[in-house]
Structure 1
């Protein structure tokens, strides 16, 4: 499903009819809970929204970082919030496969969190070291994947951890192409890139900004993006679909969600405001600079994306028997 298809249905102008249904709200500062540390991509996105949202609501908007468990600690906190002044900024996994990967996750993404808006999307880029034994030079995806298939489990790929988009996405690519590299988890994408530079990995799916920076430095090669077509975030990189890899329309995304118990009229007002902010030229530019293609979907659009991604990734999790370590 394309970002543009998600952006339009059901959106209302901020401050519209839902405003009248929330007398006396907000009565205190609004909190945006983020499951990653200050300076991380989710933190930067949340802070991009905090000032304009504060102006719209007439109350301070505070970003709070509750770090741990890949963002699931923050998601559980938001799911249990009952003050009607707490929302969260989440990554894919927190709203889709969290409890499919780990049955001990204490919240249900589909039941305990209510979608507000899909903020931004980004494909990943299949990358490889510049010079490494048994890894073909050049950027041709067909040649690279043929070598990977021949190598079998002698190759390794890195990700920021079990259940991340990089992990599930590479497992999906393995299923679509017949390659079989071994998974090696790292603390984050920068560490994955460093491991490739050190010759410990033959391949990885990286965010476009990181991949392009390493390419400009002459350290990594960009093989293809995990999207149905070329991405505005990496316009010079062919899609893997162009190399014949079907069914690999894979994106990272981030989104706002509220506790499912928050009154519908308050959720509607928040959604209206967040959509308007996401679609504003200033914020769209900031999101692009942060590595995101801005969307600003309706709650229904985000709900549809959650459902579709949960089904796709859930199948890979089941087929590959992926569990949190």
Structure 2
């Protein structure tokens, strides 16, 4: 990791040099001049909330100001994302998931912000594949056996997701198109309810975050078929990828990231990005996030911008071909 430090040090000093110009123009001294808020569009205890709270203390130390996590749950995280987009104080950022930064507008044209226009990418923090999980009674001793059973069942099988337009929903529709299976979508308020429905036999399958899925698999309540990464994932090294298991070219990841209002001055975005990247790459934080189910990325703003574009194209294609609309 040391090869990143000189560039970051140069970037940090360059940014520090630029700060007074902007701050002076605002009459506020060096940024930050007050507590920084991280808006999270999901409730306490959710994955984005846990990540935000892990980052708050080291970011506060680096900035010399309190960092407050502010939960504004609802609309799949889009309520918080809209508040970030409209913030004008240069002290509000958001911890967001894929959907908030890519397909929000494609799913619902009434979404009050445009991710590409109204949000500034700061850093892609962590990525993870999803685990294709099967209910206890489903034939799934191998991925091949599972897909054979799923194809034979056609529309008699159901799959669950934490809502219309979520990555799990769009990803399963993509899986259907690539593998020739045809389960029917049943949306739930969240993944805990999806798991309950699977264990009770109302659902036959679901795409679930690795930490959540494997806890149930190890407890003997669910079966794991494979992961949605191109190859095996360090998060669940024991599972084959679905590409390995005979679904060619299938890749899907969930991720979380920090974004700022598009109006935030570029030097501040650059400084935040460098700090967050260093924080998440530190060994202790890398391990903490790994335990939460994330492989650390810690990119520059350009890295997140590239990921936003590629995922918007991939998931947007499924949304359009399948006619998916958010409720």
> TM-score per shorter chain, which class?
over 0.9
Residue 136 (1) aligns with residue 136 (2) = no
Relative contact order: is structure 1 or structure 2 higher (C-alpha 8 Å, sep ≥ 6)?
A: 1
Counterpart pick for 2:286 among 275, 284, 287: 284
The structural deviation recorded for 1:137 is 4.3
The structural deviation recorded for 1:250 is 0.5
Judged with a 3 Å threshold, the aligned counterparts in structure 2 of structure 1 residues 137 and 302 are, in CA distance, closer, same or farther, namely closer
1:131-181 deviation line (CA, Å, top 9, x unaligned) = 2xxx3241x111211211121111110000011111011001011011110
Residue 234 of structure 1 is matched in structure 2 by 236
Residue 216 of structure 2 is matched in structure 1 by 214
1:89-142 deviation line (CA, Å, top 9, x unaligned) = 0000000000111111000001100100000011111111222xxx3241x111
Report 1:36-185 matches (<5 A).
36-131=42-137, 135-138=138-141, 140-185=142-187
* TM-score w.r.t. length of structure 2: 0.93
Report 1:8-27 matches (<5 A).
12-13=8-9, 15-23=12-20, 24-27=30-33
Report 1:182-261 matches (<5 A).
182-261=184-263
**In 2: Cα distance, 1:213 partner to 1:27 partner:** 43
Unaligned 5+ segments in structure 1 are 1-7
SS at match of 1:241: coil
Structure 1 runs (4+) deviating above 4 angstroms are none
Quick check: 2:36–2:92 contact (8 Å CA) kept in 1? yes
The structural deviation recorded for 1:218 is 1.0
Residue 317 of structure 2 is matched in structure 1 by 315
Quick check: 1:75–1:94 contact (8 Å CA) kept in 2? yes
Quick check: 2:73–2:80 contact (8 Å CA) kept in 1? yes
Quick check: 1:11–1:297 contact (8 Å CA) kept in 2? no
Quick check: 2:273–2:299 contact (8 Å CA) kept in 1? no
Quick check: 2:198–2:204 contact (8 Å CA) kept in 1? yes
Unaligned 5+ segments in structure 2 are 21-29
Count how many residue pairs are aligned between Structure 1 and Structure 2: 314
* TM-score w.r.t. length of structure 1: 0.94
**In 2: Cα distance, 1:232 partner to 1:159 partner:** 24
The structural deviation recorded for 1:16 is 3.0
Q: CA RMSD in A?
A: 1.5
**In 1: Cα distance, 2:211 partner to 2:241 partner:** 16
Quick check: 1:159–1:189 contact (8 Å CA) kept in 2? yes
Moved more, 276-285 or 304-313: 276-285
